[in-house]
């Protein structure tokens, strides 16, 4: 899961995911949004994102259409949420053991 965080920790990759969040885009179009780097660089980022499951690829002839895998992104959100829920769980466990201690009296 930390791997996904690291992958999105790169500005361009994060932007790419946002770009194809609600619409499929071909690699060329994605690359066009990043004029400061070569298409190769973007292709490599796409490879990383595809490999991690954050992007899905659909082939249409010679083109490759990318779109965000919202489900996979959802896992990341759950992971972040777990930071908050862990303390709740800990509180719950604490409350439970206190209850059991009381019953053992």
Partner DNA sequence: CATTTACGTTAGTACATCCTTATGTAAGAT
Partner DNA sequence: ATCTTACATAAGGATGTACTAACGTAAATG
Burial 8-20 (b: 16+ CB within 10 A, else e): beeeebeebbebb
Q: Of these partners, its own copies, DNA, none, which one is at the site of residue 100 (CB under 5 to 8 Å by kind)?
A: none
Min dist. Cβ of residue 73 to its own copies (A):
6
Contacts to its own copies by CB under 8 A? 2-3, 5-11, 14, 17-18, 21-22, 68, 70, 73, 76-77, 80-81, 83-84, 86-87, 90
- For residue 45, give the nearest of 20, 73, 79 by alpha carbon: 20
CB contact at 8 A, 66 and 25: yes
**Complex with DNA: residue 58 or 90, whichever CB lies closer:** 58
């Amino acid at each position: 899961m930390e791997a996904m965080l690291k992958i999105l920790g790169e500005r361009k990759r994060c932007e790419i995911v946002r770009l194809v969040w609600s619409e499929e885009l071909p690699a060329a179009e994605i690359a066009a949004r990043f004029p400061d780097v070569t298409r190769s660089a973007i292709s490599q980022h796409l490879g990383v994102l595809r490999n991690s499951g954050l992007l899905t690829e659909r082939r249409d002839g010679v083109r490759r259409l990318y779109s965000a895998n919202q489900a996979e992104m959802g896992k990341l959100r759950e992971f972040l949420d777990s930071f908050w829920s862990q303390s709740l769980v800990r509180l719950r466990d604490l409350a439970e053991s206190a209850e059991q201690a009381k019953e053992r009296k």
